[in-house]
Chain A
Amino acid sequence: MSTKFNGAEKTERLLNLVICLLYTRKPLSKAKIRDAVPQYGTSVSDEAFDRMFERDKDELRELGIPLVTEPFDAFFEDEPGYRIDRREYALPEISFASDELAVLGLASRAWTQATLAGPAAQALRKLEAAGVERDDSSLIGIVPMVRTVEPSFEAVKNAVLQHTPVGFTYRTAGTGEVATRHVQPWAIASWHGHWYLTGFDTDRDAPRVFRLGRIEGEVTVEGTPGSYEVPENHQPTTMISTVAVDRDPQPAALRVRVGAGHSLRRQARTVSHTDDTWSLIIVDYTDTEAFTAEICSFGPDVVVQSPAELRESVIRQLTGALGGRSGGDHVNGEEANR
């Protein structure tokens, strides 16, 4: 029974601690805090109280509560006191017009399906706490949605914000080569529906762009926050757009069954009929990976004639689809191919 209530008791203790430290004008000593917060009264020993108080302080700071340590008496500087600066704590008084809150609502809901959904909703509630209701009726109906389906998103985002060097296993596009990379993260950006990391690759001694979806497994922290500088005026989307596209568009020759492959036919440069069953189309593509997926989705209705690289990529993918994976066993792409 008692464990069931521990959670609530701890919330009570933390809330009373916050109120007490906001309420006090002068910094409070630990002893005073122990008296003032009733839930500390139940701790059995001084050591238990000390440990509990240290943990509580850390947790409040992690929530972003500006708990400061100050000498509480000018004459006894060795004894620290604690308080929360109200001006630092409180969200500044901002008054948003109802149309401004409406677009803030749009911005917040754009993250509904991302790892930032919780913070985005909480931020909006804080802004609306003042009592102004948003007026969604003024919006003309454009709804952007941002997704973070890449498992590495949180770790990479935090590394970018804190300037922390990281390492991860990365699968290079095209070659499929898998290697450990060591990177000083500069920025992340969502570009054409994918998240990319820009940064300095310390092994290759050059700036590089990484697609988060090609990071395999965990991202590990490999240094201390703030241990490098991000170049001034770094423009992530500019860098990504010049690098992320594999190369200039190149032509592919595809045999497409008559009456099928509509989306390919629409993009085609030329379409010629070879016989009653097949058309030959010439279509430009840039991203082998993405184009392979599109071609494979047509199954037996589309056959790649050239280039050989695209042909092999499609054969590899279809062979994988034929073999597939069973239950939880991972079938490596390379093995399935040979």
Chain B
Amino acid sequence: MSAQRQAGQLRQGGQPSESATKRLSRLLTMVPWLLNRQGVEIEEAAREFDVTPAQVEADLALLFLCGTPGGYPGDLIEAEWESGRVYLGNADTINRPLRLGVDEALALIVGLRALAAVPGIGERDAVVRALAKLEAATGSASAGTSRIQVLIDEGTSGEMVALAKESLAARRRLHLRYLVPGRDESTERDVDPMRVINFDAHWYLEGWCHRAEDVRLFRLDRIEALTILDEDGTPPSSAQPRDLDSGVFTPHPDDQLVRLALGPGAVWVSDYYPVESIERTQDGGAVMDLRTADTGWLRRLMWQLGDQATVLEPAELVAEVQRGARSALEAYADAAGSAESTPASG
């Protein structure tokens, strides 16, 4: 009885909105994972399963009440976690993870195939081996995966990708002439390379920028010139790769707050830029808050999105966007007659 009561209390610390099947799915994976890692810390299990430590404890409390038919203590799963380390036993029936589901197999197989096709990837051998094992093990779950494809190509950045990788492998510093699109200007800087990222069909170099004295992302097709220097290019130990989960921009807390109204055709913006908060509107659009130090790029984004986006706040930015759009349109009114002229083709 006391175990029952304790489990009940712990469950309150869990995730009330989670469905029973989603939780079951986690438990069926967690059991074999824990069985193979006796004495693992609760925190580590929580990180691995992307839940709170309290949720892991609630899950263990639940496991502790389950077992093979009979209901005698010897039938139940043994779980111990008082010390902060988890020990699990008597769970032989579910000591193997469930087969990969269709979406699970799909994500890994399509991802590996895309990796295998990345030009010049160093790990191609490991990718091919992993793919062969995975396809053999997933059987029918991987049947339709060939009809879902991700193509990662070099586009026009082939030469830059090769140079960036070369500097990474050799740990050498780079000198860049880089076009800052938000300001539409060319800049010179030295960079210690950290990794090369393919993101939305663009290649980026992430590295420690000596000019900004911070980690920066550089889109390879905006690098106008790249030289590999003789200097050592090991980034300072404080340089941490950015968490790309919130897109390629990182806001600072003292940046200006901007509120945008997005149409259904512009909601994607919230996936690319740093969102402070977002609220969906009835028509499938959204109202989104973000922080930024420089509104230049935002002005340009607004012109680009046309009627699909509007700045709601601050008022100065609203006026700037409108002034720019009006002035751009005036040029067309002035030059109405020249619309028919055709460029010389060659």
Q: Which residues of A contact B (CB under 8 A)?
A: 4-5, 7-8, 10-12, 14-16, 18-20, 22-23, 35-38, 59-60, 62-65, 88-92, 94, 96-97, 99-104, 106-108, 110-113, 116, 119-131, 138-147, 149, 151, 157, 160-161, 186-194, 213, 216-217, 230, 234, 236-237, 251-253, 255, 260-263, 266, 269, 282, 293-294, 296-301, 303, 305-308, 311, 314-333, 336
Contact = CB atoms under 8 A, between A and B. Distances in A.
5 smallest A-B Cβ distances: which pairs? A193-B201, A320-B307, A107-B111, A320-B306, A328-B281
Nearest to B17: A7
A145 B244 contact: yes
Contact of A187 (B148, B330, B339): B148
B189 to A, nearest CB: 16
Contacts of B100: 91, 123, 126
Interface in B88-142: 93-94, 96-108, 111-112, 114-115, 118, 121-123, 126-127, 129-130, 133-134, 136-137, 141
Chain B, interface size: which category?
35 or more
A322 B322 contact: yes
Nearest to A257: B184
A59 to B, nearest CB: 5
B123 A125 contact: no
Contacts of B306: 296, 316-321, 333, 336
A116 B106 contact: yes
30 contacts: A8-B14, A12-B66, A18-B24, A19-B94, A64-B98, A88-B99, A92-B99, A99-B123, A108-B111, A113-B244, A113-B271, A125-B29, A126-B98, A140-B169, A160-B147, A160-B148, A161-B148, A260-B184, A263-B179, A293-B305, A299-B325, A299-B327, A303-B328, A321-B302, A321-B307, A321-B321, A324-B321, A325-B309, A326-B310, A336-B306
A308 B337 CA distance: 11
Interface in B309-346: 309-312, 321-322, 324-332, 335, 338-346
A151 B264 CA distance: 10
A106 B186 CA distance: 33
A25 to B, nearest CB: 12
Given A99-B123, A119-B106, A140-B123, 8 more contacts: A129-B32, A193-B200, A230-B147, A253-B343, A266-B224, A308-B340, A325-B308, A330-B263
A27 to B, nearest CB: 14
B127 A103 contact: yes
A298 B302 CA distance: 10
B227 interface: no
